[in-house]
Amino acid sequence: MNIERTAGVSKTVLVLLLCSVSCASLSAILHSRLHSLSHLFFFLCSGFSFLALLKLANTVAHSLPRPIEVFIHWIHAMSFELLALVGIIVCRFSRFSKTFHKPVGAGTLKPVLLVHGYCHDGSAWSYLKHQLAKENIGPIYTIDLGFPFSPIREYAMKVKEKADQIRQETGISNLALVGHSMGGLVSSLYATDLSPPNTVTDVITLGTPFKGTHMAKMGIGPNAREMEPSSELATQLRTKIANEKFSRFYHIASNTDQMVIPPQSGLLKNDLSREFFFEDIGHASMLFSPRVGALISGWLNKPN
């Protein structure tokens, strides 16, 4: 798989530039008629232009001195993280659709369960689950873990219940898990401690604080305490993953992850060929990244 650690020039830049030109044109047309609306389009034009220029700067940042490169990647990640948070809010409304919790995709006939993170719900996967379905993966399921401040083991038990349900619906014992943030810890705990033997083929984690994150100190609930550095659960879980013989573990982290600090906490270094470290993607932005989707689909499509 040829996945870039930093985003290149893509359709996103062209779309941003097109939006900028369109808003500038509307601002000029309305300037003599509707000043307030003209000013609104002017500010939109400025915003789209900034994001387009930021995308271009992020593309060439690798040719600049390392401190400047890192600074540009961070500005890029923070700016698009705000858009990702808006996307998560919009996705929340999708969970009220009658079709939201129905599985999508049926390509490989290897069920995949997407497990969300802290204070999220299954709607957070609205983008990635459809991206994965396009790559001949599925059926793909999501889960709502419920009350956001419970112990991680309680969430793993809910994954166990969902996995049993999936097994009954599909008649397939094997299952792959993809977990974002805390969902990666939940998925890993289920795979190493609660699942029937030799049933979880793959566990893929995105921005998961396996070695804890200092941001968890500001969180609420026992699950936040379990995500603090050197927590007992995280320590035991790392040992169980290292000793796991059947399940394949893959990890994605980012140097500009605002929630996993230090960002290297998202990697276990057990098998470097199964880890990927981005340079310019924020924590929530992983849920809306085509590069992350391509990486996940490539790993899931590997033969057992």
User: Would you give per-residue pLDDT tens digits along the chain (304 residues)?
Assistant: 678 888 776 777 778 778 888 888 888 887 766 777 888 888 888 888 888 888 889 999 988 999 999 999 999 999 999 989 999 988 887 765 555 667 776 666 789 999 999 999 999 999 999 899 888 888 999 999 999 999 999 999 999 999 999 999 999 999 999 999 999 999 999 999 999 999 999 999 999 999 999 999 999 999 999 999 989 999 999 999 999 999 999 999 999 999 999 999 999 998 889 999 999 999 999 999 999 999 999 999 887 7
Sequence length of the chain is: 304
Identify which of 237, 274, 231 has the alpha carbon closest to the alpha carbon of residue 252: 274
| pLDDT reported for residue 97 | 54
Where does 112-300 sit in CATH, by number?
A: 3.40.50.1820
The whole-number pLDDT of residue 49 equals 87
Cross-strand pairs, 142: 114
Tally DSSP H helices, then E strands, for the chain.
Answer: 9, 6
Hunting for tokens 């779309």 — which residue is that?
15
Q: Read off the tokens for 84.
A: 């990702």
Query: How far lies 60's CA from each of 56, 66, 67, in Å?
Result: 7, 12, 14
Q: In what order do the strands lie in the sheet with 175-180?
A: 140-143, 112-115, 175-180, 200-206, 248-254, 275-278
Distance CA 287, CA 81 (A): 10
pLDDT digits (tens, 9 = 90+) for 223-263: 999 999 989 999 999 999 999 999 999 999 999 999 999 99
> Which residue's structure tokens are 């309680």?
154
In 240-303, where do the E strands start and end? 248-254, 275-278
* DSSP annotation of 172: -
pLDDT value for 232 = 93
pLDDT in the model for residue 9: 66
d(CA 226, CA 229): 8
Place of tokens 């309305």: 30
Q: What is the pLDDT of residue 99?
A: 56
Report pLDDT for 158: 98
**Residue 274, by phi and psi: left (phi above 0), alpha (psi -120 to 50) or beta?**
alpha
Q: Which residues of 261-272 are buried (b: 16+ CB within 10 A; e: fewer)?
A: eebebbbbeeee
The total of other beta-carbon atoms located within 10 Å of residue 230's CB is 8
User: In terms of pTM, does the model score above 0.85?
Assistant: yes
